[in-house]
Chain A
Amino acid sequence: MARAASTRSRIGWTALAWGIGFLMFFPILWTVLTSFKTEAEAIAAPPSFLFFDWTLENYGIVQERSDYMRYLWNSVIIAGGSTLLGIIVAVPAAWAMAFVPGRFTKDILMWMLSTKMLPAVGVLYPIYLICIQLGVLDNRAALIIILMLINLPIIVWMLYTYFKEIPGEILEAARMDGATLKSEILYVLTPMAIPGIASTVLLNFILAWNEAFWTLNLTSVDAAPLTAFIASYSSPEGLFFAKLSAASTMAIAPILILGWFSQKQLVRGLTFGAVK
C-alpha cells in the first residue's frame, strides 16, 4: 500500500518536473522552430507546431545582412577576457579569505555580495560618462573590464566556498613535508581546487556571454557582441519574427552546446555551498 502510494507519487513528481522543465524550455524550442519557418508562417494564426515547410532561408538572409562571425568573435573575446581577468583577480582574493581570514573577511564578502543588489541602471549614467571621457565607448577592452567587475563578487564567492572545503590540515601536511608556498599552491592546492575553478570559469563565462544590459548600452558596431546582433533584428513593429528567431538561435547555439557538454560542472557550480 505504502509502496504503491510512493510509486504513484514518484510518477506524479517526475511528470511534474518534466512538465515544468518543458515549460521553461518551450520559448527556446519555439524560437528554434520559428527560425525554420517563412515570415508568413511565423505569424500565422493558429501557429503550426511541426508541420510547416521547413526552410533555411532565414539563416541565409541573416548571414548575408550581418556578419555573424564578427559578433561571435566579440562575444568570445568579451566573455572569455572578462572571465580570465576575473579569475586572475579572484583566485588570490578567495585564497586569502579562505586560508588567512582576518577580522573583516566576512564583512568584505557580504559587502561584495551587496553590490549585486544595486540595479545596474543606477550606475549607467556615471559609467557611460566615464567611458565617453576616456574615449572607450564601443571598446572591447572597456567591456571586458566592466563585465569582470560586475561578475567579480560571484567569482570570489564561488572560489571562496570551494577553497573553504579544502581541509587546512592537508596544507599543513604539505608544509611539514617541505613544500614551499609555491609548491604548496602548485602541487597540492590547485589540483584539489581544479573542479571548483572549472565550474566557476564555466558559470562566469555563461553569465558574461548572456550579459545584455551593459553590452547593449556601451557598444554599437566595433565591440558589439551577439546580444547586439539579436537586438538588431528586433523591430518595434514586431516584424520579421523568423529572422529574429534565426539570429537568436545562432546567438545561443554556442553557449547551449558548451552548457550541454559541461552539465555536471554547471550543476555543481549552481548549487555551490548547498551540499557539504
Chain B
Amino acid sequence: MGQIKLNQVTKSFGDVQVIPPLDLTIEEGEFAVFVGPSGCGKSTLLRLIAGLEDVTTGHIEIDGRDVTNVQPAQRGLAMVFQSYALYPHMSVRKNIAFPLRMAGMDEAEQKKRVERAASVLNLTDYLDRRPGQLSGGQRQRVAIGRAIVREPAAFLFDEPLSNLDAALRHGMRMEIGELHQSLATTMIYVTHDQVEAMTMADKIVVLRAGVIEQVGSPLELYRSPRNLFVAGFIGSPTMNLIEGAEAQKHGAATIGVRPEHIATGDPETSPWSGTVGLSEHLGSDTFLHVHDTGLTESITVRADGEVPLRHGDKVGLTPIADRIHKFDAQGLRIE
C-alpha cells in the first residue's frame, strides 16, 4: 500500500504553467521530501497529489489505481497542513475522531483508535481541550493524530514545522522520523529547509520553477549534485562556486568545493590563500569566510574544532582534490 506515481502531470493557473510535464514515482513506504525555494511548485505538487487542486493534464496513480479525477477523501491519503488546520470548535478528541466519524465508523472503534493515537503522540492528558488551549507543538501533534487514525495509504506533510521554534522543530523532526519508522507508511513531506530534507528523507526531490532538478537519496545529492542549482541548494553552509581561470584548470566552466572539503594551512605553500574576513566559532566547528583569494568574493571554509584564526589573519587553503565538483557552461555536472 502506498505507491504514488505521477505521469506527465502538468498544472496551469490561467495562462501560467506552474508545473511543466513531470514524471515521478514514490515507492511504497518511502519518505520522500520535496524541497526547493519558495514558489518552486512543491506545495502545488503536493496539493495535486492530495486532490485539492485538479491537474491540468496527465495522470496520478496510487497503488496502480488512477485517481486523477477522484475526490481528495477517496484517495486514501491524509494531510498535515502548515497552519495545522484544526477544527477550533471541537475538542482534541473530536478533532482526531473527525475522519473516523466521516467514515461512519462505530463509536467504540473510534474511541479505541483515538486513544491509541493519543498515547503514541503524548496527547492523552489533552483529549478534552480545545485546540486554542494547546501550544504549537501540541497542535501539530493533534494534526498528526488526525492523520494517523485513518491509517492512510500515504501521509502528506505541507511544511508542517515552519510555524514552530527551532528547538521544537528539532524535536518534531525526530518524532515524525520515528513515526515513519514505526508505521512504515509512505510519506511525502514538503519543505524549503534543506536540513529537514537531508535529515528525514529516503528520497529528496529538488524542485525549481515546477521542474525536478534531481531525485536521489540525501547522500547522492550531496556527493554528486547534477547541476549548479542542486549543488548550491543542498549542503550547509553552501558550496563554494568558483569560475574563471581556476575552473578552466580543471576543464570546467565552474567548479564547486564544499566548505568541509577545504583544508587550512600555510599561506606560502597552499594552492589558494587569502585573508580571514570573519570567523564564526561554534565550538565543534569554525566557519571561516576568507576574502582576497582572487577566486571569488568569499570562500567559506568549515574547519574542525577550535581554529585560532581571526579577522585579518592570512590563511592558506587546500581543496581536497577528489571532492571538487565540475560543471560545464550550462551548469551541468561533468563526471
| Interface residues of A, Cβ cutoff 8 Å to B | 167, 169-170, 172-180, 183, 187-188, 191-192
- Compute how far the CA of A273 lies from the CA of B4 in the bound complex, rounded to whole angstroms: 43
- Which of B83-91, B183-191, B210-218, B264-272 lines the interface with chain A? B83-91
Q: Contact check: which of B78, B87, B89, B103 meets A176 at CB < 8 Å?
A: B78
Chain A residues, Cβ within 8 Å of B16: none
Q: Contact check: which of B81, B89, B99 meets A178 at CB < 8 Å?
A: B99
Considering the complex, give the chain B residue whose CB is closest to the CB of A173: B85
Chain A residues, Cβ within 8 Å of B55: none
Known A179-B73, A187-B98; 9 more pairs at CB < 8 Å = A170-B85, A170-B86, A172-B72, A172-B85, A173-B146, A177-B78, A178-B73, A191-B89, A192-B88
B219 lies within 8 A of chain A by Cβ = no
Is B102 within 8 A of A167, CB to CB? Answer: no
Q: Contact check: which of B72, B77, B86, B102 meets A183 at CB < 8 Å?
A: B102
- Compute how far the CA of A177 lies from the CA of B85 in the bound complex, rounded to whole angstroms: 11
Chain B residues, Cβ within 8 Å of A172: 52, 72, 79, 81, 85
Considering the complex, give the chain A residue whose CB is closest to the CB of B79: A176
Is B81 within 8 A of A169, CB to CB? Answer: yes
- Compute how far the CA of A175 lies from the CA of B71 in the bound complex, rounded to whole angstroms: 8
Asked, given contacts A169-B81, A169-B83, A172-B81, whether A177 binds B146 with beta carbons under 8 Å apart, the answer is yes
Of residues 30 to 86 in B, which have CB atoms within 8 Å of A's CB atoms?
Answer: 50, 52, 71-73, 77-79, 81-83, 85-86
Is A192 within 8 A of B52, CB to CB? Answer: no
Chain A residues, Cβ within 8 Å of B81: 169, 172-173
Most buried by B among A170, A172, A177: A177
CB distance from A216 to the nearest CB of B (A): 43
- Compute how far the CA of A10 lies from the CA of B216 in the bound complex, rounded to whole angstroms: 65
Chain B residues, Cβ within 8 Å of A170: 85-88
Asked, given contacts A169-B81, A191-B89, whether A176 binds B102 with beta carbons under 8 Å apart, the answer is no
Q: Contact check: which of A169, A177, A191 meets B102 at CB < 8 Å?
A: A177
Is A169 within 8 A of B73, CB to CB? Answer: no
CB distance from B62 to the nearest CB of A (A): 14
Is A176 within 8 A of B88, CB to CB? Answer: no
CB distance from B196 to the nearest CB of A (A): 20
Q: Convert B103-133 into 0s and 1s, putting 1 for each residue whose CB lies closer than 8 angstroms to a CB of A.
A: 1000000000000000000000000000000
- Compute how far the CA of A273 lies from the CA of B87 in the bound complex, rounded to whole angstroms: 22
Q: Convert B143-158 into 0s and 1s, putting 1 for each residue whose CB lies closer than 8 angstroms to a CB of A.
A: 0001000100000000
Is B79 within 8 A of A178, CB to CB? Answer: no
- Compute how far the CA of A265 lies from the CA of B220 in the bound complex, rounded to whole angstroms: 59
Q: Contact check: which of A167, A169, A175 meets B72 at CB < 8 Å?
A: A175
CB distance from A162 to the nearest CB of B (A): 14
Is A177 within 8 A of B73, CB to CB? Answer: yes
Is A169 within 8 A of B85, CB to CB? Answer: yes
Chain A residues, Cβ within 8 Å of B50: 176
CB distance from A251 to the nearest CB of B (A): 38
A-B contact pairs, 23 of them (CB 8 A): A170-B86, A170-B88, A172-B81, A173-B81, A173-B85, A173-B86, A174-B87, A175-B52, A175-B71, A175-B72, A176-B78, A176-B79, A177-B73, A177-B99, A177-B102, A177-B150, A179-B73, A179-B102, A180-B102, A183-B102, A187-B98, A192-B88, A192-B89
Is B85 within 8 A of A167, CB to CB? Answer: yes
Chain A residues, Cβ within 8 Å of B150: 177-178
Considering the complex, give the chain A residue whose CB is closest to the CB of B102: A178
- Compute how far the CA of A169 lies from the CA of B143 in the bound complex, rounded to whole angstroms: 12
Chain A residues, Cβ within 8 Å of B89: 191-192
CB distance from B16 to the nearest CB of A (A): 16
- Compute how far the CA of A178 lies from the CA of B73 in the bound complex, rounded to whole angstroms: 4
Chain B residues, Cβ within 8 Å of A177: 73, 78, 98-99, 102, 146, 150
Most buried by B among A169, A170, A176: A176
Is A176 within 8 A of B83, CB to CB? Answer: no
- Compute how far the CA of A94 lies from the CA of B139 in the bound complex, rounded to whole angstroms: 30
Chain B residues, Cβ within 8 Å of A192: 87-89
- Compute how far the CA of A96 lies from the CA of B83 in the bound complex, rounded to whole angstroms: 23
Q: Convert B254-285 into 0s and 1s, putting 1 for each residue whose CB lies closer than 8 angstroms to a CB of A.
A: 00000000000000000000000000000000
- Compute how far the CA of A105 lies from the CA of B219 in the bound complex, rounded to whole angstroms: 50
Considering the complex, give the chain B residue whose CB is closest to the CB of A188: B87
Is B77 within 8 A of A176, CB to CB? Answer: yes
- Compute how far the CA of A205 lies from the CA of B88 in the bound complex, rounded to whole angstroms: 28
CB distance from A115 to the nearest CB of B (A): 31
Chain B residues, Cβ within 8 Å of A180: 73, 102
Considering the complex, give the chain B residue whose CB is closest to the CB of A167: B83
- Compute how far the CA of A174 lies from the CA of B81 in the bound complex, rounded to whole angstroms: 11
- Compute how far the CA of A169 lies from the CA of B163 in the bound complex, rounded to whole angstroms: 15
Most buried by B among A173, A174, A188: A173
Most buried by A among B71, B78, B98: B98
- Compute how far the CA of A101 lies from the CA of B99 in the bound complex, rounded to whole angstroms: 27
CB distance from B50 to the nearest CB of A (A): 6
CB distance from B287 to the nearest CB of A (A): 38
Considering the complex, give the chain A residue whose CB is closest to the CB of B156: A176
Chain A residues, Cβ within 8 Å of B98: 174, 177, 179, 187
- Compute how far the CA of A169 lies from the CA of B98 in the bound complex, rounded to whole angstroms: 15
CB distance from A161 to the nearest CB of B (A): 18
CB distance from A194 to the nearest CB of B (A): 8
Q: Which 6 A-B pairs have the closest CB atoms?
A: A178-B73, A178-B102, A173-B85, A177-B99, A169-B85, A191-B89
